[in-house]
Amino acid sequence: MSVVTEVKVKIPAMFQSSTGGVTTAEVSGATVGECLTQLSNQFPALRKMLFDEGDKLSGYLTVIINGQGLKDSLINVYNIPVKPGDEIYPLILIEGG
């Protein structure tokens, strides 16, 4: 049984134009994916940045949880459980050289 909890999502500058300048949001969920889904429900313009067309986390997205970076291709970030007080920080990876 998963427990729904309140966590904070720190919104990086690259996403703030889609949140009206909001820098931190409180969301509820049992997993990182549920929290990011709720964030995209609060700020619909974020959906295309966080998720692909199949509603999976974008391949360009990395998620930092409590200061620890996790890449979705290496671990299923979507299903990582969260606990009260956790902070989620989603970032888009920029490639190039």
The pLDDT tens digits for 4-56 are 779 999 999 999 999 999 999 999 999 999 999 999 999 999 999 999 888 88
More confident site: 26 or 62: 26
| pLDDT number for residue 50 | 92
What's the length of the chain? 97
Question: How many alpha carbons fall within 13 Å on the CB side of residue 44?
Answer: 0
Domain formed by 5-92, architecture? Roll (3.10)
Residue 89 pLDDT greater than 60, yes or no: yes
Bridge partners of 25, per DSSP, are: 9
| pLDDT number for residue 93 | 78
Residue 97 pLDDT greater than 80, yes or no: no
> Collapsing DSSP states into helix, strand and coil, what is residue 49?
helix
| pLDDT number for residue 96 | 59
**Global pTM?**
0.86
